[in-house]
């Protein structure tokens, strides 16, 4: 049975990196003797502008039976960001209980970090981001009671299921890596949800005596990821904090365009979704210069999740070889002058 993958290119450079990375993923699958089949869902902001919804009402049902989902990115200058994100990405992550968002940060040989004292391989950590609730729970409201009385409430939600799932995934990852977990919260200022979160970290941590736990407040963690990134192994954080820290990780490892991401339901009751960390990047959309490597690395995470380790490592090796090769094409965000297609054509050659 082929691996059956739903592909949602989305908007802007999302469509560009999906179009270009798919043949690379297919080449890796071929080389590894893995068969994949894809179904293209043209959902996104154009659909919203034409029909009033980012995806059809039965969208989740149509996705449900696929083995995995690959998403480009959504975001359009004429549609509010809370509509594009809430009407598609968040529907899927919440609807399919993709509680676990895994986002690795790795400084590749051949890529320059803005923290110039670091060489390839010296920055390597992974953030486990709670992906379905926290500060992104859609709870709140806005009351206009006359100018002085206008008020808006945006609440955060922490459930045992959502919190325990991400914390356990992070401990599992730490146990597989260097055994060091950093728990990032703001429990000095947010004494309800975040103290609940800390308690669950202590509770689950008791099952992992081989993993050491460091607690950091998110403001201090932001500074330390710049000041001593080499010391981090696995970080676990809420939805908002994980979102912010992973763009920071992408920044210190050379480019947002290199960063991959997964949205996983560890129970495997629902399909998981894989996507580059970046958005639709209006500023460079249509120019053909988007870096496709974040998308290619996301395909590697997808194959890994489906148990196709050999296809995953073909993608990872091709990316590492290409970045380490000073003569290889590279996009402008990492100091090159090549376009998206030249980078993916070179990756295909390395794989084939
Ligand atoms: P962005 O990630 O689209 O872009 C941030 C900066 O990084 C821009 O300067 C962009 O040119 C650069 N960049 C991003 N990806 C790149 C790549 N592959 N190659 C080279 N450069 C790259 O974030 P933004 O500008 O804050 O948001 C733009 C839109 O994307 C908004 O509508 C936002 O809501 C949406 N967004 C969507 C997702 C998603 O679909 N998962 C994630 C983040 C942002
Ligand atoms: Mn983000």
- The pLDDT, as a whole number, for residue 205 is 98
pLDDT tens digit sequence for 216-225: 999 999 999 9
44 C-beta closer than 6 A to ligand 1 = no
The verdict on 195 and 128 lying in the same domain is yes
Residues 242 and 131 in one domain: yes
Last residue of a domain, one of 218, 252, 286: 252
- 155 and 195 within one domain: yes
**Which atom number of ligand 1 is nearest to the Cα of residue 284?**
11
What percentage of residues in the chain have a pLDDT greater than 90?
97
- In a domain, residue 14? The reply is yes
Q: Is the pLDDT of residue 145 over 90?
A: no
pTM: 0.95
Residue among 77, 92, 278 whose CB has most ligand 1 atoms within 8 A, to mutate: 278
The residue written with tokens 């996009």 in the block is: 331
The reply to whether ligand 1 has any atom less than 6 angstroms from the CB of 55 is no
Mean pLDDT of 40-62: 97
Structural domain of residue 218, as residue ranges?
124-252
Which of 193, 227, 252 corresponds to the end of one domain? Answer: 252
* CA trace torsion 29, 293, 7, 71 (10° rounding): 140
Ligand 1: centre distance to CA 279 (Å) = 3
Domain check: are 128 and 248 in the same one?
Answer: yes
Ligand 1 centroid to 278 CA: how many Å?
Answer: 4
Pick the closest to residue 103 from 229, 212, 242 (CA basis): 242
Domain boundary among 209, 236, 252: 252
Task: Indicate whether 258 pLDDT > 80.
Answer: yes
Q: Which of 348, 327, 294 is nearest to 71 (CA)?
A: 294
75 in contact with ligand 1, CB cutoff 6 A: yes
The per-residue pLDDT of the chain, averaged, comes to 97
> Across residues 43-55, what is the average pLDDT?
97
pLDDT band at 148 (very low <50, low <70, confident <90, very high): confident
> Does the ipTM surpass 0.85?
yes
Q: What is the mean pLDDT of residues 209-235?
A: 97
Give per-residue pLDDT as tens, 169-184.
999 999 999 999 999 9
Nearest ligand 1 atom to the CA of 283 is 11
What are the angstrom distances between the C-alpha of 125 and each of 177, 181, 197, 238, 243?
A: 10, 10, 21, 17, 15
Name 220's Cβ contacts closer than 8 Å, sequence gap at least 6. none
Q: Report if residue 196 sits inside a domain.
A: yes
Our answer on whether the CB atom of 279 is closer than 6 Å to any ligand 1 atom is: yes
Which residues sit opposite 36 in a β-bridge? 3
Question: What's residue 144's pLDDT?
Answer: 80
With respect to residue 21, please indicate whether it lies within any of the assigned structural domains: yes
Q: Is 73 in the pocket of ligand 1 (CB under 6 A)?
A: yes
248 and 131, same domain (yes or no)? yes
Mutation choice for ligand 1 from 70, 259, 279, CB with most ligand atoms inside 8 A: 279
- Give the mean pLDDT of 26-45: 97
Residues 320 and 240 in one domain: no
* One-letter-per-residue 3-state SS of 50-73: HHCCCCCCCHHHHHHCCCEEEEEE
pLDDT above 80 (res 147): no
Min mean pLDDT across 20-24, 146-150, 250-254 is at: 146-150
**Over residues 201-217, mean pLDDT:** 98
Average pLDDT over residues 25-47: 97
- Assess whether 264 and 244 both reside in one domain: no
Whether 56 maps to a domain, the answer reads yes
Q: What is the pLDDT of residues 120-144, one digit of tens each?
A: 999 999 999 999 999 999 999 998 8
- The answer to whether residue 110 sits within a structural domain is no
**Structurally, how many domains does the chain consist of?**
2
Centre of ligand 1 from the C-alpha of residue 254, in Å = 15
State the closest ligand 1 atom to the C-alpha of 333, by its place in the atom list counted from 1: 20
**Ligand 1 centroid to residue 284 C-alpha, Å:** 9
If one counts every other C-beta atom within 10 angstroms of the C-beta of residue 81, the result is 12
**Same structural domain for residues 244 and 139?**
yes
Q: How far is the CA of 103 from the centre of ligand 2 (A)?
A: 11
**Residue 106 counted as domain residue:** no
Q: In what order do the strands lie in the sheet with 234-237?
A: 36-40, 3-10, 68-73, 272-276, 260-264, 100-106, 124-130, 234-237, 180-185, 212-217
Q: Could you identify the atom of ligand 1 that is nearest to the CA of residue 290?
A: 19
Is the domain of 134 the same as that of 216? yes
Nearest residue (by CA) to ligand 1, atom 22, is: 257
What is the domain-level CATH number for residue 173? 3.40.718.10
Band (pLDDT 50/70/90 cuts) for residue 146 is: confident
Q: For a pocket test of ligand 1, which of 256, 257, 297, 336 has the largest count of ligand atoms closer than 8 A to its C-beta?
A: 256
- Are 159 and 74 within one domain? no
Specify if 112 maps to a domain.
no
Instruction: Based on the fold, state whether residues 202 and 297 are members of the same structural domain.
Output: no
What pLDDT, in 10s, does the model give residues 271-295? Answer: 999 999 999 999 999 999 999 999 9
> How high is the pLDDT of residue 123?
97
Answer yes or no: do 295 and 242 share one domain. Answer: no
Q: What percent of the chain has pLDDT over 70?
A: 100
Give the per-residue pLDDT at 217: 97
- 279 CA from centroid of ligand 2 (Å): 7
Within a domain: 108: no
pLDDT at 30: 97
Give the pLDDT confidence of 319-345 residue by residue, as tens digits.
999 999 999 999 999 999 999 999 999
- The reported pLDDT for the residue numbered 139 is 95
Between the CA of 122 and the centroid of ligand 2 the distance, in Å, is 24
């Amino acid at each position: 049975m082929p691996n059956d993958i739903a592909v949602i290119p989305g908007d802007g450079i999302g469509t560009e990196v999906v179009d270009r990375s798919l043949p690379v993923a297919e080449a890796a699958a071929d080389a590894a003797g893995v068969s994949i089949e894809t179904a293209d869902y043209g959902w996104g902001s154009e659909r919203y502008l034409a029909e009033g919804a980012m995806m059809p009402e039965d969208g989740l049902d149509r996705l449900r039976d696929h083995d995995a989902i690959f998403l480009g990115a959504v975001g359009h200058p004429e549609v509010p960001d809370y509509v594009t994100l809430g009407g598609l990405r968040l529907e899927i992550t919440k609807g399919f209980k993709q509680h676990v968002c895994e986002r690795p940060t790795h400084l590749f040989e051949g890529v320059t970090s803005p923290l110039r004292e670091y060489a390839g391989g010296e920055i390597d950590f992974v953030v486990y981001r709670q992906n379905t609730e926290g500060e992104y729970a859609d709870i709140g409201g806005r009351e206009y009671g006359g100018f002085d009385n206008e008020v808006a409430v945006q609440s955060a939600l922490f459930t045992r299921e959502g919190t325990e799932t991400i914390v356990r995934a992070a401990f599992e990852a730490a146990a597989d890596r260097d055994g060091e977990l950093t728990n990032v919260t703001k429990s000095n200022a947010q004494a309800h949800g975040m103290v609940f979160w800390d308690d669950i970290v202590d509770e689950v941590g008791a099952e992992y005596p081989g993993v050491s736990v460091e607690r950091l407040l998110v403001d201090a963690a932001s500074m330390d990821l710049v000041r001593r990134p080499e010391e981090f192994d696995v970080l676990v954080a809420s939805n908002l904090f994980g979102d912010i820290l992973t763009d920071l990780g992408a920044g210190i490892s050379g480019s947002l365009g290199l960063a991959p991401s997964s949205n996983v339901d560890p129970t495997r009751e629902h399909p998981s979704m894989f996507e580059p960390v970046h958005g639709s990047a209006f500023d460079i959309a249509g120019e053909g210069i988007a870096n496709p490597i974040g998308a290619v690395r996301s395909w590697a995470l997808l194959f890994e999740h489906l148990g196709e380790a050999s296809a995953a490592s073909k993608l990872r090796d091709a990316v590492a070889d290409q970045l380490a090769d000073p003569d290889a094409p590279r996009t402008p965000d990492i100091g090159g002058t090549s376009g998206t297609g030249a980078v993916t054509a070179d990756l295909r050659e390395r794989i084939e």
